[in-house]
Amino acid sequence: MSGARARRSTTVVTLGLTLGLAAGATAQAPAAPRAGAVQEQLLLDNDTVRVALLVFPPGAASGEHVGLDPELGIVLEGELTLITAGGREVLGPGAVRWLPALVPHDARNEGAAPLRLWVVLVKK
């Protein structure tokens, strides 16, 4: 796997989906979520796009990271807590967010149910 593809792969797994500028910032830092492995099912990966289904068990988080490519995230089930410099946003089923490249973010499942999320990376 090339260096660029490896970085993209890492971005998808840890992302977060990641997904847009958050609203509703809080003055208090959120508590760290419990440990849990994010599962990825890669559905398409070519020169222009990468599509994956991510499953975050309760307490799982991507950790803050920066994606090299723009991302589109679509929440299927559960709740995604997206944290960016703009604040914190909780996104439920049907929510869609665009996240430009190079925006630091953390994706978390702070709920009690699994989070299922489509992530589409638009490669340059």
Name the token pair of 2: 């090339």
Q: Residue 110's domain is classified under what CATH number? A: 2.60.120.10
Contact predicate 33/64, CB 8 Å? no
> For residue 11, which of 107, 111, 115 has the smallest C-alpha distance?
107
Which residue range(s) make up the domain with 36?
A: 3-122
Q: Is the pTM of this model over 0.75?
A: no
Q: Which two tokens stand for residue 72?
A: 């589109």
Per-residue model confidence as pLDDT tens digits over 16-34: 433 332 322 233 344 444 4
Q: Tell me how far CA of residue 19 lies from CA of 2, 3, 67, 102, in angstroms.
A: 25, 23, 10, 12
Model confidence over 32-88: pLDDT tens digits? 444 579 999 999 999 999 999 999 999 999 999 999 999 999 999 999 999 999 999
Q: What is the pLDDT of residue 35?
A: 55
What total of structural domains would you count in the chain?
1
Which H or E element spans position 7?
A: helix 3-14
